Amino acid sequence: MTLLAVERIKLFTTRSPWWCMVLALVLTVGLSVLVTTNANENFPATVATSQAGGQLGLVVIMVMAALAVTTEYRFGTIKASFQAVPNRTALLTAKTVLVGVVAALVGEIIAFVSWAVAYLIKPGPLMALTTGQDWRNVAGTGLVYGFAAVIALAVGILVRQTAGAVAILLVYSLLVENLVALIPKIGTKIQEWMPFNMANNFLSAGAPPSAGGAGSPTTHMPLSPWGSMAYFVGIAIVLLGIALVSANRRDA
Amino acid sequence: MIEAVGLTKRYGRTLAVDDLSFVAKAGRVTGFLGPNGAGKSTTMRMILGLDRPDAGQVRIDGKNYRSLNRPLRTVGALLDAKWVHPNRSARAHLLWLARSNGISAKRVDEVLGQVGLSAVAGRRAGGFSLGMSQRLGIAAALLGDPSVLLFDEPVNGLDPEGILWIREFMHTLAAEGRTVFVSSHLLSEMSLTAQELVVVGKGRLIAQASTADFIAQAGDNAVRVRSPQADTLRLALLDQGLDVQPGEDGALVIPGVSTDQVGDIAGANGVVLHELSSQNGSLEQAFMRLTGDSVEFRTDTAKALLAAEQTAPPGAGVPAPDVNLTTTAGK
């Protein structure tokens, strides 16, 4: 608990996390408003389209999570941290838990605000949270954000510098997972097992295809929605494990 | 007390610290002296468990740093004053450190007052001058009221007032029975601050001694004497098997003797003296000689100086043919 309090003080006494959270909210809700107002009979506004900006907010929150550790390396405070708490595994785990929980909360807020705003613009049965799929699509966002933050932190711990970590996270989540499908024959098979594609399957599997690029993934996914989420969590935990081993072995 | 035994650290092909053993005792200010690149900071990081030694170990009051419970209460350290998030306030920086080791927020305000930063506690640390950053670093080191304190080059970049403040501060801390271990590449500063010296060069231990002993042993002590009968005096001194070298203004410089000896010889030979003084060799010269082979990055000027130092004694302008020019270096 002490270490969580320490990390809470560290996270909220600098400005960048606040900026990242506000930016994530504005971008996501903004996109939701755009998609919803542009909806018509052919592309009706649904619960799924209200979450169209989720990917954008996710990227910003991952940047926030990576920054939480790379700025410590950038400014040398990681040395002060390890000096105060020589148990690096405990310290970095506490940081991961705190940032993960904050990211999850932000994800929940973003998802429900996006949905509520969309509902206000185009109220109707398509916007009501009725099925389990509807709820998963909105409330599941927090889970995805939380574990995506864990992945971002793990990458930050491994790479140790902001530019590198952010570049890897952006290029990977926005480009690599989409472009990998271009590899002949095996491309789409690999893509099915990519972690962020899995997370997307968790959120949107079973949703009616609609406007704004949201909706169920085009390929048939090998795992159920919750199986996909478990897979995503597994990837996050394995990456964090590797990062913790590395942090303990390397000089600070 | 800090005890290092056989400490070794390698970065790639560079041997940064090579089988280094030393002790820093409680109640003393121990200076950790060596040229830039001698492995001082690396050693300090190993003491704090930040870097892992390739061999050997270092113990603080008998314990490995990583096994200390709430380490800030045992060891306070200032390795780099810039290890602060620039957008975090000074107080917030100390607050998370304090929280991590179960130290009260009241103590944070106390140390801020102690280093004179109370008025700027809420300001972001990135806007601090070097002197203020240094004070913040010292406040962080004092937070846990530790029995062992480490400072890496604490006077670097400070103004004279700041230097004086830190020097007296370290003396106070040692007088309270704490172990104070402070590194520097500045000899003159160390001779005023440290009571004990651990001298390193190229990662190896060159000497561990009290500062007074180190200066006496390594320093180039000599007697300078001026006389209207210089030739007579020189012959008399040479008769006694002493080494006589020409000094400035026609003076004679006799290394490794006391003024008593020279005065007695002059008196016995009826030589009038206009000046008889002892010259304490500068610590810099002693240091250069001892670490001469251990400096990693040397300028051409320093090389030339060192070469001159090794071939001719200081002050020897034009060597007189009848003067013994054997250098006194290499003790």
Quick one: closest CA in B to A72, which residue?
B85
The pLDDT tens digits for B141-198 are: 999 999 999 999 888 878 888 889 889 999 999 999 999 999 988 877 888 899 999 9
Q: Which residues of chain B are within 8 Å of residue A84 when distances are taken between CB atoms?
A: 71-72, 97, 100-101
Burial class (CB in 10 A: 0-12, 13-18, 19+), B300: exposed
The pLDDT tens digits for B5-23 are: 999 999 988 899 999 999 9
Q: Do A9 and B99 touch (CB under 8 A)?
A: yes
- Nearest-CA distance from A6 to chain B in Å? 5
The pLDDT tens digits for B72-124 are: 999 999 999 989 999 999 999 999 999 999 999 999 999 999 999 999 999 99
Name which of A75, A84, A251 is nearest B86 (Cβ-Cβ): A75
Q: Which residues of chain B are within 8 Å of residue A162 when distances are taken between CB atoms?
A: none
Tell me, yes or no, if A167 comes closer than 8 A to chain B by beta carbon.
Answer: no
Is it the case that residue A54 has pLDDT exceeding 60? yes
Helix, coil or strand: residue A188: helix
Q: Which of residues 12-51 of B touch A (CB under 8 A)?
A: 45, 48-51
Tell me, yes or no, if B238 comes closer than 8 A to chain A by beta carbon.
Answer: no
Model confidence at A25, pLDDT cuts 50, 70, 90, reads very high
Q: Which residues of chain B are within 8 Å of residue A83 when distances are taken between CB atoms?
A: 48-50, 71-72, 77
Cα B289 to Cα B330: distance, rounded to the nearest angstrom: 7
- pTM value is 0.81
pLDDT score of B162: 86
The rounded percent of chain A whose pLDDT value lies above 70 is 95
Q: Can you give the C-alpha Rg of chain B in angstroms?
A: 24
Q: Which of B73, B75, B94, B96 to mutate to probe the A interface, most A CBs <10 Å?
A: B96
pLDDT score of A106: 97
Q: Which residues of chain A are within 8 Å of residue B68 when distances are taken between CB atoms?
A: 86
Phi first, then psi: what are they for B329, rounded to 5°? -70, 165
Phi first, then psi: what are they for A219, rounded to 5°? -85, 160
Model confidence at B316, pLDDT cuts 50, 70, 90, reads very low
Tell me, yes or no, if A10 comes closer than 8 A to chain B by beta carbon.
Answer: yes
Helix, coil or strand: residue A250: coil
Q: Which residues of chain A are within 8 Å of residue B49 when distances are taken between CB atoms?
A: 82-83, 86
Tell me, yes or no, if A135 comes closer than 8 A to chain B by beta carbon.
Answer: no
- State the helix-helix crossing angle for A54-74 and A2-12, rounded to 10 degrees: 100
Mean pLDDT for A105-113 is 96
Q: Do B50 and A9 touch (CB under 8 A)?
A: no
Q: Which residues of chain B are within 8 Å of residue A87 when distances are taken between CB atoms?
A: 66
Strand partners, B181: B30, B150
Q: How many CB atoms lie within 10 A of CB B18?
A: 18
Lowest-confidence range among A12-21, A225-234, B204-213?
B204-213
Q: Do A84 and B87 touch (CB under 8 A)?
A: no
**ipTM score of complex:** 0.85
pLDDT score of B214: 80
pLDDT score of B317: 38
Tokens of B218: 């390594």
